[in-house]
């Protein structure tokens, strides 16, 4: 099975990159399943129903979120109606939406997608390790599902790496989101799980992690939050990974970075 996971979509530039490149990648790479992180898609802050459907129309199967899940108030009600949108598992009980779900590919295979959020330098949510262990209880690769993808939405690279180690051999892929910077450590862990610390972003890289350079830089220089952050509006680059799983085990056979667009050195798996 071939699965594409794209990093945080930031603003219009990121949305346009998804719409431009995902259909091409779906065809060229013969993808079976596509996931994106959409939590910054609505002008840099949150997600809307309209944007969700733009992504679905482009060939996306699942949208993950993160700490900006609720920036657009409509998501508080909409997320309960759309099983294709996930929020972190370790939000407290009673939070709208779901943090894990089993999806069916177009040819009938089963993919569990789950998201957790880190606690280092983030809001102090429930234990992400306990949350993902509970979600995986009774769900086994090559027995109950064909693939398992876990997103760790976190600030600290150490916390993301620890999640990868903790889940190695039990899931197909562990990958991080949130930092908007693609890391150069795509690899397969000793137990057979694909891993990358952060996917990067889908957005304009002539920016400060997707936001216009002047306002973002001014906040560091003046220490005053007086200038509103807005997404950069140049041409967007799509960043993510393509995972190829072993049909017999559900574990990773190969993991390749994907970078398409200006600003970064382009990278694609072999066709």
Residues annotated as catalytic are 68
Overall size of the chain counted in residues: 271
Return phi, psi of residue 2, to 5°: -115, 125
**Could you give the residue ranges of the DSSP H alpha helices within 127-234?**
128-136, 157-167, 213-222
First-to-last C-alpha distance (Å) of the chain: 14
Closest CA to 18 of 55, 57, 44: 55
79 and 116 in contact (C-beta within 8 Å)? no
Closest CA to 135 of 152, 156, 154: 152
213 and 207 in contact (C-beta within 8 Å)? yes
Which residues, including other chains, have CB under 8 Å from residue 85's CB and lie 6 or more apart?
Answer: 38, 47, 52, 62, 63, 64, 65, 75, 78, 79, 97
- Exposure pattern of 120-133 as b/e (b: 16+ CB <10 Å)? eebeebbebbebbe
CA distances from 70 to 31, 46, 97, 252 (A): 30, 6, 11, 33
Three-state DSSP class for residue 50: helix
């Amino acid at each position: 099975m071939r699965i594409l996971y794209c990093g945080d979509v930031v603003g219009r530039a990121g949305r346009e990159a998804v719409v431009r490149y995902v259909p091409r990648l779906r065809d060229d790479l013969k993808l079976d399943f596509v996931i994106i992180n959409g939590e910054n898609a609505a002008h840099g802050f949150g997600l809307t129903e309209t944007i969700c459907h733009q992504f679905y129309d482009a060939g996306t199967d699942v949208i993950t979120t993160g700490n900006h899940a609720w920036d657009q108030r409509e998501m508080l009600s909409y997320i309960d109606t759309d099983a294709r949108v996930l929020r972190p598992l370790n939000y407290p009980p009673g939070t709208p939406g779901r943090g894990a779900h089993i999806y069916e590919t177009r040819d009938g295979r089963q993919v569990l997608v789950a998201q957790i959020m880190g606690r280092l330098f983030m809001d102090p949510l429930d234990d992400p390790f306990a949350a993902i262990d509970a979600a995986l209880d009774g769900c086994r690769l090559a027995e109950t599902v064909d693939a398992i993808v876990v997103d760790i939405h976190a600030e600290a690279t150490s916390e993301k790496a620890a999640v990868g180690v903790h889940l190695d051999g039990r899931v197909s892929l562990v990958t991080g989101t949130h930092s908007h910077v693609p890391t150069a450590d795509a690899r397969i862990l000793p137990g057979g799980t694909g891993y990358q610390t952060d996917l990067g972003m889908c957005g304009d890289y002539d920016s400060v992690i997707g936001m216009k350079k002047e306002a973002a830089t001014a906040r560091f220089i003046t220490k005053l939050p007086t200038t509103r952050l807005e997404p950069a509006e140049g041409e967007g680059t799509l960043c993510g990974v393509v995972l190829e799983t072993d049909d017999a085990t559900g574990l990773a056979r190969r993991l390749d970075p994907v970078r398409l667009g200006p600003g970064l050195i382009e990278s694609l798996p072999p066709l």
